[in-house]
Structure 1
């Protein structure tokens, strides 16, 4: 099984990167493809090698902590690799870990693909296992929970959809400054009828670009 790959990133899309490892291109699905933008040198990506009957997929992460948390998420009934990647794309690892240990269902249900029952299973299945795996979120800050942000005049033109998306992203730990920057980068292409989920996804892409 592949544990990590090292090589330059030669291509990226919204959901994956392509790494050139000894003249072979590996497609690697990753929470933050844009984190690798502008890096011409070789990078190390920690891999989860997922094998199923109809496909062999590679999921990659910037750190061992992300890799370990991803594998722990897969142990929860109802969470597959796509949902686990979505969770890691929407929240910082330390914030997700802290939410599980603090049994913060309100936070967990804001993560993509996670309903109340799955959030409860995450807490039940992982709360103690994260400490044993060295992922002790109890020592990490969860200051992003329940953040109240001032009204954003830029968001008014997009109606309540952007405000709801903004509130959801704030609850995932992103700051007002980060959200304002993301909005300024995307506001000219936002459609009046665009849904909250779409706005959150587009904003996350901007946030990953930095």
Structure 2
């Protein structure tokens, strides 16, 4: 229904962003909202998918069209819901995902939260042959290796900006910086969550 939404990015939250379009605020759930940190108060375009169920209509948004396409295909897999699909999209690339499916690499797929061996096999069964076009997409990380490196330079700077946007001072953040840099993380969102846990103690 909504191919994309273009508007002013007015706020970032742990699991969603708010886009102002002519005075209407659209709440859009994203794989990693803090990827949009540098575009706060700017006009941006988010590729969207409206998920309709009996008790709710939820907008999901993506920075790239390929991410949206992966999400849609994952929703067609038995046992994968929107939350799991969003987690997977936020932790892989189109290339790596396609390679894992086409090579039947269930070891790679089971590294995603909420994906066991049975679900991984179901993903391969349902999607093999349907994602091969992405095998030539830009490579972001080696197949079979979901990002679990220390936050360090990869996520730390973005996480700091996100924590500042949430109202924390540079002094407060500096006090937990060593713990954040040493943390195992799969996204900026993970580092932000860790930071919030430490700051709220």
TM category (shorter chain) comes to: 0.7 to 0.9
- Give the alignment partner of residue 146 of structure 2, picking from 148, 168, 172: 172
The CA deviation at 1:99 is 1.2
2:96–2:142 CA contact under 8 A, matched in 1: yes
Q: Which runs of 4+ in 1 moved over 3 A?
A: 138-143, 182-190, 199-207
Give the match's secondary structure for 1:82: helix
Which residue does 1:181 correspond to in 2?
153
Q: Distance in 2 between matches of 1:26 and 1:3?
A: 14
Distance 1:67 1:200 in 2: 23
Superposed, which structure 2 residues align to 1:110-189 within 5 Å? 110-131=111-132, 135-137=133-135, 141=139, 144-145=142-143, 171-173=145-147, 179-182=151-154, 188-189=178-179
Report the CA distance between 1:121 and its aligned residue: 0.8
SS of corresponding position for 2:26: strand
Does the 8 Å CA contact 1:98/1:141 hold for their aligned counterparts? no
TM-score normalized by structure 1? 0.71
SS in structure 1 at match of 2:131: helix
1:13/1:201 Cα in 2 relative to 1: closer, same or farther (>3 Å)? farther
Give the secondary structure class of the aligned counterpart of 2:185. Answer: helix
1:48 Cα deviation after fit: 0.6
For 1:147-200, what per-residue CA distance to the aligned partner results, in whole angstroms no more than 9, with x for missing partners?
xxxxxxxxxxxxxxxxxxxxxxxx1257x6x7432586766446xxxxx9xx53
Determine if the alignment matches structure 1 residue 26 to structure 2 residue 26: yes
Q: Which runs of 5+ in 1 are unaligned?
A: 147-170, 191-195
Change (3 A) 1:95 1:201: closer
Aligned pairs (5 A) from 1:1-210? 1-39=1-39, 40-131=41-132, 135-137=133-135, 141=139, 144-145=142-143, 171-173=145-147, 179-182=151-154, 188-189=178-179, 199-200=184-185, 204-206=189-191
Evaluate the alpha carbon distance shift between residue 11 and residue 2 of structure 1 in structure 2; reply closer, same or farther with a 3 A threshold. Answer: same
> Equivalent residue of 1:129, what SS?
coil
Unaligned runs of 5+ in 2: 158-175, 193-201
Deviations 1:19-42 (A, max 9, x none): 011110011001120111121321
Q: CA RMSD in A?
A: 2.9
Q: 1:26 to 1:145 in 2, by over 3 A?
A: same
